[in-house]
Amino acid sequence: MPGAGMDLIVRGGTVVTMDGARRVLTGDVLVRGNTIVQLGRLKTPPRGALVLDARGCAVMPGFVQTHVHLCQALFRGMADDLPLLEWLKQRIWPLEAAHDERSLYASARLGLAEMLLAGTTTVLDMGTVHHHDAVFTALAESGMRAFSGKAMMDTGVGVPKGLRETTKQSLAESDRLRARWHGAEDGRLGYAYAPRFILSCTEQLLWGASEAAHSTPGVLLHSHAAEHADERRAVKEALGKDDITALADCGLTGERTVLAHGVQLRAAEMRGLAKAGTRFTHCPSANLKLASGIADVVAMREAGMLVGLGADGAPCNNRMDPFTELRQAALLAKVKRGDAGALKAEDALAMATIDGARVLGIDGHTGSLEVGKRADLAVVRLDALHAEPGGDAVARLVYACTASDVRHVLVDGRVVVADGELRTMDSDAVRTAARREGERVRKRAKL
């Protein structure tokens, strides 16, 4: 593994930079320590450098997934074919309430292993209410770049006892986690205050989260909004206004706020969100599986909103695969607009990489391959039969490639996947623990 000052060369690939000019180069990426120091063909490669072969491959910025739930990876296959509110109340909340530290750690490791192997290098993660140190411990060990935060919920109908907390407890625990983990691992980990959604949070909790997040540089606010029509109706009945307005009225607005979904957004709301700078995450597969609808990401982008992509959780997808979301986003936008050119391959790839980094406010050091940026990248085979015989590298990445084509992955200059094998975790141990803890948590939840 390269340490500080040691060189690594990603050799002989098609380098899809996703920089401002959207350059695609043929050649190498030279990494020193955690930083990209040269792009393009190297005339004299430094002696003693570690070489990763990228011939026949695309070298792209690692995927940035701006909405995932590592705590739910263990629930894959335990909550299928239900609409959103029933899905939450009948399955997800009881299962989350049944988590202990051990099951949560196994869940986070399963999700992280899946995502790293598929070329994801950065995530914004929403946890469950308790034991969130276990998720951060798994994040620290995995090598993933991440923002994460415990779910905050101090009210709500149908919330099990195991997930209830007072406003004071919720804020105090979030503050403790922020103090312990924000900026950890040399800045690779960050904190995101995560009020779950408007119906599970009091006004005091939302205000508290907003004030706390805005008082520490780089800390984010993360919630769900405008996901399903039924949920929106319930919000309107309970509060007399829409969730977007209610969240903004409690300080969840502006560039540090990242909201997931936006399926139900109206044009005027999009304009308001764009003006405020509020960030959004499009989760196309989860929106389809929970029958929430198809978010109009083209309209959001045209309104000036910054939108990233995310897989959401394993039980509502059931993959955490960035290639699936990338393809799904591009295809659904075309159907939604009745226009095959509505969201072009390059724009979809931007949402999955550099725009995701912008959503999180870290585009100064990740999201594209540029000299001076951190080496967060994925090497993706283009020679699988499903991606042959050639053509535009970006179109192949978006429409043809799959997670199994990922060969090498670097995060912060560290090789986390080499030749399709995880380097930071033992895949067999991840699988064994996930099976054991998945069964235990299901039994504790009495499902």
Stretch that binds Zn ion, among 51-59, 99-107, 204-212, 304-312 (CB under 5 A): 304-312
Q: How many of the chain's residues bind Zn ion (CB under 5 A)?
A: 1
**Between 9 and 73, CB nearer to Zn ion:** 73
Nearest-approach distance from CB 293 to Zn ion, in angstroms: 15
Nearest-approach distance from CB 29 to Zn ion, in angstroms: 33
Nearest-approach distance from CB 261 to Zn ion, in angstroms: 8
Nearest-approach distance from CB 39 to Zn ion, in angstroms: 35
**Between 231 and 312, CB nearer to Zn ion:** 312
Nearest-approach distance from CB 210 to Zn ion, in angstroms: 19
**Between 227 and 269, CB nearer to Zn ion:** 227
**Between 104 and 382, CB nearer to Zn ion:** 104
**Between 88 and 357, CB nearer to Zn ion:** 88
Binding mask 311-340 toward Zn ion (x if CB under 5 A, else -) reads: -x----------------------------
Cβ-proximal residue to Zn ion, closest one: 312
Nearest-approach distance from CB 66 to Zn ion, in angstroms: 11
Nearest-approach distance from CB 386 to Zn ion, in angstroms: 30
**Between 66 and 210, CB nearer to Zn ion:** 66
**Between 114 and 312, CB nearer to Zn ion:** 312
**Between 316 and 398, CB nearer to Zn ion:** 316
Contacts of residue 330, defined as CB under 8 A and 6 or more positions apart, other chains included, come to 343, 344, 345, 348, 398, 399
Nearest-approach distance from CB 193 to Zn ion, in angstroms: 15
> Quick one: which of 109, 105, 112, 111 has its CA closest to 134?
105
Q: Which residues bind Zn ion (CB under 5 A)?
A: 312
